A and B are shown apart, each in its own frame.
Chain A
């Protein structure tokens, strides 16, 4: 009999609790252990950059938080409430939004259908009209199939899909990959705006320039373990940044 080693959940749940707490997250794919004892915390209105190279375990950690890998154990709390036992479709219903890498969308659905699919109306929250206001290009393309969009347009759509669910915490997996610099700039200012609305954001990136510009804190991941965590200002130009990302 395996005793669940997860610590007791926080005493109170609600708006004062961190947007996201992850404790002792382990992820295994069959026999290979990919993520070890991962612990992260993201406050409301805070952006945590998860920095690491390809294959360091960033994507797997995010999949574990979203509940998309069967071999994950550990605890995940959103606003202090445990979602560890919930299937992914319930974690992502208004709690956690997942913006996958590679600007993944439903290619055979229209832009508008892609956005409506994740919609979870919230008072003063994101709506189709507000997403179109923020990304006017998507309004133009609303009736087009997402599969025909450019990489940058699809990335905007992927982020827009995340916003439509009005999540407590937004998880982004390498959203700047392959984007033109001007689009990256736009994404950066969007993330700063989202922080001001109180959304908690976990940004997994290799692009440390953007990540450390918008982040409050940075966590470095190597071989599936968090090896260092520090304020973003401290991380810029640090030895560890140099060592882990080779910059």
Chain B
């Protein structure tokens, strides 16, 4: 493999990792604070991708994508708030199985709504005009949009870090992770905080879905596609850890990129992801950066 090819695969892996990290960070944030595994996270991502495509194609090439992204985050955030208030609040105290069934039911409902509203056909949208060009590096051509995705993930990841460690909201979220009862006895409205956390999680799913839209065909099965990868990332990195999401996303993104580029390994690329997942589960069941459950 030449140096140029190596770079091509690495950049491909990084742009995979970029949107996967954004999505997985939202899943992890919600699990960390609410202790709920949100099966509908991929559905929120899919809603955002469809909204982005529809709005962007209406508004045109210059500003369309940005308008689509904003509308997608708002719409998905509102759907998230509705889900938290109507469904999740009723299952917080329940065992994980009940929570899984409740959020799995949501994936079915949302999948049906998406097919009804947007249809079952593939849809595409072009990157915004300003970043719709290619660059040549070491003999290979790269879509500038790949670098935009990587940059967006860096900005969003930094934003999540600042939110969690430099704001009172983030401090309260971290407090809720360790002791929600004590937080309530410290004058914080934990029920409202949980809604806010879920909306932030939904917004991260939405950012992932909006940013990925110009790079692939948007379709009605992308909810499960991304959910499977986001779970693999969370298991590898450790559910509840944002750093774990980053490392997990880098591993999964690169494994997929290198696996898919070679004709012999191509059919097994996704299998490699799960082999790594199984190895991590065997050696460190709580993931690379997760914490062992206290019993």
Q: Interface majority SS on B: helix, strand, loop or mixed? A: helix
Distance in angstroms between the alpha carbons of A106 and B173 in the assembled complex: 11
Chain A nearest Cβ from B113, distance in angstroms:
34
Which partner residue on chain A sits nearest B179 by CB separation? A106
A117–B168 Cα distance when bound, in Å, is: 8
Pair A106/B178 contact, Cβ less than 8 Å = yes
Please, what's the 1-or-0 string for B171-206, where 1 marks a CB less than 8 Å from any CB in chain A?
A: 110110111011111111110000000000000000
Contact with B along A195-229 (1 / 0, CB 8 A): 00000000000000000000000000000000000
Q: Which residues of B contact A116 (CB under 8 A)?
A: 168, 171
8 Å CB contact of B187 from A94, A105, A107, A109: A94
- CB proximity to B under 8 Å, residues A76-93: 87-90, 92-93
Chain B 136-168 interface residues, beta-carbon cutoff 8 Å to A: 168
- Contact: A92 with B186, CB < 8 Å? yes
Q: Are B171 and A117 in contact, CB atoms less than 8 angstroms apart? A: yes
Contact B175 A106, beta carbon cutoff 8 Å: yes
A109 and B175 contacting across the interface, CB-CB below 8 Å: yes
Interface of A is mostly: loop
Residue of A nearest to B181 (CB): A68
Q: CA–CA, A117 to B184, complex, Å? A: 11
Task: Among A90, A104, A120, point to the contact of B182 (Cβ < 8 A).
Answer: A104
Considering the complex, which residues of chain A in the window 85-135 have a beta carbon less than 8 Å from any beta carbon of chain B? 87-90, 92-94, 98, 100, 104-109, 113, 116-118, 120
Chain B, Cβ-Cβ closest to A119 = B187
Min CB gap B192→A, angstroms: 9
Contact present for A118 and B171 (CB under 8 Å): no
Sample of 21 A–B contacts (CB below 8 Å): A68-B181, A89-B186, A89-B187, A89-B189, A92-B184, A92-B185, A98-B185, A100-B185, A104-B179, A104-B182, A105-B182, A106-B175, A106-B178, A107-B178, A108-B174, A109-B174, A109-B178, A117-B175, A117-B183, A118-B186, A120-B187
Q: A68-B181, A104-B182, A106-B178 are in contact. List 16 more A-B contacts (CB 8 A).
A: A68-B184, A89-B188, A89-B189, A90-B187, A92-B184, A92-B185, A93-B187, A98-B185, A108-B177, A108-B178, A109-B171, A113-B175, A117-B172, A117-B175, A117-B183, A161-B186
